[in-house]
Amino acid sequence: MGEVPENVEGAVSLDPWLKPYAQVLSERRFLADRWLYDLKHATPDKSEQTLGEFTRNSYKTYGLHADPITKNITYKEWAPNASRAFLVGEFNNWDDSSHELKNRDEFGNFSLTIPPNEDGSYAIPHDSKVKVVFQLPSGEKIYRVPAWITRATQPDKETAKLFGPGYEGRFWNPPQKYQFKNKRPQFERQTDSLRIYEAHVGISSPEPKVASYKEFTKNILPRIRDLGYDAIQLMAIMEHAYYASFGYQVTNFFAISSRFGTPEELKELIDTAHGMGILVLLDVVHSHASKNVEDGLNRFDGSDHQYFHSVASGRGEHPLWDSRLFNYGNFEVLRFLLSNLAFYIDIYQFDGFRFDGVTSMLYNHHGVGAGGAFSGDYNEYLSKERSNVDHEALAYLMLANDLVREILPESGVTIAEDVSGYPTLCLPRDAGGAGFDYRLAMALPDMWIKLLKEKSDDEWEMGNIVYTLINRRHGEKVVAYAESHDQALVGDKTLAFWLMDAAMYTDMSVLQPLTPVIDRGIALHKLIRLITHSLGGEAYLNFEGNEFGHPEWLDFPNANNGDSYHYARRQFNLVDDHLLRYQFLNNFDKAMQSCERKYKWLNTPQAYVSLQHEVDKVIAFERNGLLFIFNFHPTESFTDYRIGVEQPGCYRIVLNSDRLELGGHNRIDEEKSKFFTTDLRWNNRSNYIQVYIPNRVALILALEERI
């Protein structure tokens, strides 16, 4: 099979099964490295620059920019299919001939400098409407929102009647720009835990409305801090004209969603989070783009293949998402997307990214149909004949990780939404991997939903639960989660609703007796979250509201529901009502995050599972010196239950899901609970302890000297 190429030696040494595919991995890395060289030398004299300098120079040059000293406004746009270009707007009464971008280079870049008014003020007022007009070779004129626009807003009703509902470009140049006060939180990606709170600003209110950045800053950030999360993953930030797309049909990549507020208000949100010690990650959508023409990138310069593959090629449209697909082999597309990442890191101070739709990017079949059925056979990913991998898209993802590492060498976080299990995706670039820190463990929520839908409690297979939770690639970290926004969407149910359903409307009051349905639901909701948190990955994610068992599903206003906001909200009022049992689930989430923050099991080597008893329904494992015990049995509690443990000593309870304040029954006297090891091998461990473990209860034990 020959020698392993030097540029992938690290990956092959970690996983020797990759050796037959080393040449393929090497070629894929080489493509990204060649692009990296070209981008670094994309200067007039071919001198070298860093990738960060290339992207920063780009976002500071393309689009509209105001010089605070000269009061000049510059505008640059790439539109190779256009013959002429003009900037129009309220500032020149939409005159499509007065402000021509006469400087056109050989690559189709148009540029213009607009001097200040006679009184020294900017020629274009802050927040006024602008568009670019392209004249095509045919003589036709088309109106577009500038591709690098940093502000786009929904038209008022009268304007929409006259010109359509398309979003309008705005020249954002506030007299008082927000000044960040807080430094980014320290984060050591090799050792620090990552407990992520996934949130959508617009739904972050109990009221049926679109919530704002300011409301999120005031009302939601303190909740996240109180719960103990150390990172927020913000969804639907990139501007999208259609609210019900959940932010996944992006129209304006450099503009943040105006329906939630202004750019300065988002900066304040992120700055405030940083002051709380919380990282902020952006859910970035570079896998596809909205097909909108009037306010998006589609047919921006009149052609269908400027930013995207052509439709005629069969690669330009996603078969299911009704969206356009980027051409990652185009230099200017790489400039646009990579600069987009640098822009969000610099201008808004985001600390990293969750990349949406990575599976769709990685494969020419986009994970759809027969091509999307991944068995784990390496040939599906790495065989020259069978893999169907889009090498250019993979190269872009490698470059994106290079950029984040360069700009945020200590703290930048990247997460891939990949369901395929592509090998080396989360290995470092210098080892031959794609460079992501984590991938989402997307099989975990599917397992829990399948269990709740198809099996009764006594049919749950402990071995299958454990296998699914630990089935991940050695050396490649994953973000574990029991449910994300996907499980909350209309057509599905949250875990709490699968467990308790209609009883959540009638039986959650503490003033009435606890019913069997609610008792089971609360108990299992806690166990599912904790075992996922402690066994399923190296980081953990929760979708907002699920920490307290949010009922119902999530549905944005659309034609099918009469444009209702009833389900497009998070009912935080439920957890704030101390007469309702939601508080117990919330208390447990806080206790779980607090316990992890103190004792650290995330981002440590995978657990050793010593017991998965199918009859008793008990699972036990050790991780980072802690002992985790789960009793999933619906009715059986066990006294003096023998559990193997490697380290000798006295163990004490540090988390007990049966505490009253966590919605339990207080069946364990924790003050008197000291568990001394017996020097006798049990379940392949050097010692054992004997514990009382009630039904549907989870315990975490630590050596007494650690408490």
Centre a 10 Å sphere on the Cβ of residue 512 and count the other Cβ atoms it contains. Answer: 10
| Residue 691 pLDDT > 80 | yes
Q: List the helix and strand counts (H, then E) for the chain.
A: 19, 27
Task: Tell me the mean pLDDT in the region 250-278.
Answer: 98
Whole-number mean pLDDT of the chain? Answer: 95
356 counts as catalytic: yes
Helix (H, G, I), strand (E, B) or coil at 550: coil
Note if 417 is an active site residue: yes
Asked if pLDDT for residue 592 goes beyond 90, the answer is yes
Q: At what angle do helices 391-407 and 22-40 cross, to 10 degrees?
A: 60
**Predicted confidence (pLDDT) per residue in 95-118, tens digit:** 999 999 999 999 999 999 999 999
Q: Which pLDDT band holds residue 448 (cuts at 50, 70, 90)?
A: very high
* Amino acid identity for residue 235 in this structure: M
pLDDT at 245 over 60: yes
Express each pLDDT in 271-295 by its tens digit. Answer: 999 999 999 999 999 999 999 999 9
CA distance 605 to 627: 14
Per-residue model confidence (pLDDT) at position 157: 83
**Res. 1: pLDDT tops 60:** no
Answer for the pair 694, 670: CB distance below 8 angstroms, yes or no. no
The fraction of the chain above a pLDDT of 70, given in percent, is 99
Contact 699, 655 (CB under 8 A): yes
List pLDDT tens digits, range 393-433.
Answer: 999 999 999 999 999 998 899 999 999 999 999 999 999 99
Of 198, 268, 271, 356, catalytic: 356
Residue among 14, 278, 299 nearest 134 (CA):
299
Residue 175 has pLDDT above 60, yes or no: yes
Alpha helices in 558-629 (DSSP H): 572-576, 582-599
635-677 confidence digits (pLDDT tens): 999 999 999 999 999 999 999 999 999 999 999 999 999 999 9
Rounded to whole angstroms, the Cα distance separating 624 from 598 reads 12
Distance of CA 59 to the CA centre of its chain: 23
Contact assessment for residue 378 and residue 17, using Cβ atoms and an 8 Å cutoff: yes
Catalytic residue among 283, 417, 544, 622: 417
Q: Between residues 681 and 372, which one has the greater pLDDT?
A: 681
Output the CA torsion 184→186→190→191 (10° steps): -140
Q: Which pLDDT score is estimated for 2?
A: 67
What are the pLDDT digits (tens) for 482-530? 998 887 776 678 899 999 999 999 999 999 999 999 999 999 999 999 9
Asked if 133 contacts 92 with a C-beta cutoff of 8 angstroms, the reply is: no
The DSSP bridge pattern shows strands 84-89 and 129-135 to be antiparallel
Tokens of 189: 């990606």
Find out whether 384 and 24 touch, Cβ atoms under 8 Å: yes
Domains of the chain plus CATH, in order, are 6-54 (no CATH), 67-170 (2.60.40.10), 195-500+534-568+584-599 (3.20.20.80), 608-706 (2.60.40.1180)
* Strands 168-170, 152-153: pairing kind: antiparallel
pLDDT band of residue 370 (cuts 50, 70, 90) is confident
